[in-house]
Amino acid sequence: MSRTAHVVAQSNGAACLHCGRAVTFGMPIAIDDFVAMSNAFVKTHAKCKKPAGDQCAFCLGHGHTYLGCETVDTLGRWRESRDTGLSSEAIYRYFGGLGGDPRHPIDPADFGRCYRLTKRFPETLRALQALAAASKVWAALHKHWDELCRLYEEEFPTGRAPRLYARMEELGTHG
Ligand SMILES: [Zn+2]
Ligand SMILES: [Zn+2]
């Protein structure tokens, strides 16, 4: 892993996963400017140390987990957080009755975002039924949701999730 792998690009800027700071670039932006601004940001944050203790997946702050996050304490704030992806946003939309593309999680990282959303805001679990009606894969995931959650919880501390990945694949996540 590169020394500055903790400095990442995100939809409209860059973020440092160690100190949690982020910049937003005005889009569209000349590629030269984008590269220059990105490099400057990487340089500033190259030496940021990863603080000890829990890091919150929602706000990237330290000293608490997403379950105790005071910054991201509503679904609306979750929507603006750093922990969203296509499949967890599908849960959010179906929970709100908005429907749309029933994207399912395709790997443990995706599943983790869905897991955290539904753990922190358990009312969103209701969306799984609507998603199951809209997508065969979601129907399979919904049926085995507790088992998948258990696998996620068992494997999460190891930083790898081969069994969860295999089970998801069995349930059709790779079509
Ligand atoms: Zn930093
Ligand atoms: Zn937080």
Question: 35 with 110, same domain?
Answer: no
Residue 13 buriedness (CB in 10 A; 0-12 / 13-18 / 19+)? middle
Residue 100 covered by a domain: yes
pTM: 0.76
Query: Are 50 and 77 contacting, i.e. CB atoms less than 8 angstroms apart?
Result: no
Are 36 and 90 contained in the same domain?
no
The ligand with the least distance to the CA atom of 58 is 2
18 in a structural domain: yes
Task: Give domain status of residue 132, yes or no.
Answer: yes
Q: What is the whole-number distance in angstroms between the Cα of residue 33 and the centre of ligand 1?
A: 20
> Has residue 65 been placed in a domain?
no
Same domain, yes or no: 22 and 98? no
Question: For residue 121, is it within any domain?
Answer: yes
Ligand sitting nearest the alpha carbon of 20: 1
Please state the rounded mean pLDDT for residues 68-87: 94
- Tens-digit pLDDT profile for residues 34-75: 999 999 999 999 999 888 788 899 998 888 999 999 999 999
> What are 55's two structure tokens?
């890091």
Using the mean position of ligand 1's atoms as its centre, give its distance from the Cα of residue 6 in Å. Answer: 8
Residue 27 banded pLDDT, cuts 50, 70, 90? confident
Query: How close is the Cα of 38 to the center of ligand 1, in Å?
Result: 13
> Taking the C-alpha atoms of 45, 4, 115 and 56 in order, what is their torsion angle to the nearest 10 degrees?
-30
Range of the domain at 134: 84-170
Average pLDDT, the chain: 94
Residues 88 and 164 in one domain: yes
User: Residue 1: what pLDDT?
Assistant: 61
Q: What is the dihedral of CA 89, 136, 98, 65, to 10 degrees?
A: -30
How far is 73 from 56, CA to CA, in rounded Å?
A: 12
* CB of 147 closer than 8 Å to CB of 140: no
Give the number of domains in the chain. Answer: 2
In this structure, is residue 50 part of a structural domain? no
Separation of CA 70 and ligand 2 centre (Å): 6
**Could you tell me the distance, in angstroms and rounded to a whole number, from the CA of residue 160 to the centre of ligand 2?**
23
CA of 43 to the centre of ligand 1 (A): 9
Cβ atoms of 82 and 59 within 8 Å: the answer is yes
Provide mean pLDDT across the span 149-169. 95
Residue 53: the pLDDT is 83
Ligand 2 centroid to Cα of residue 71, in Å, is 6
Question: What is the 30 CA–ligand 2 centroid distance (Å)?
Answer: 33
100 Cα–ligand 1 center, Å: 36
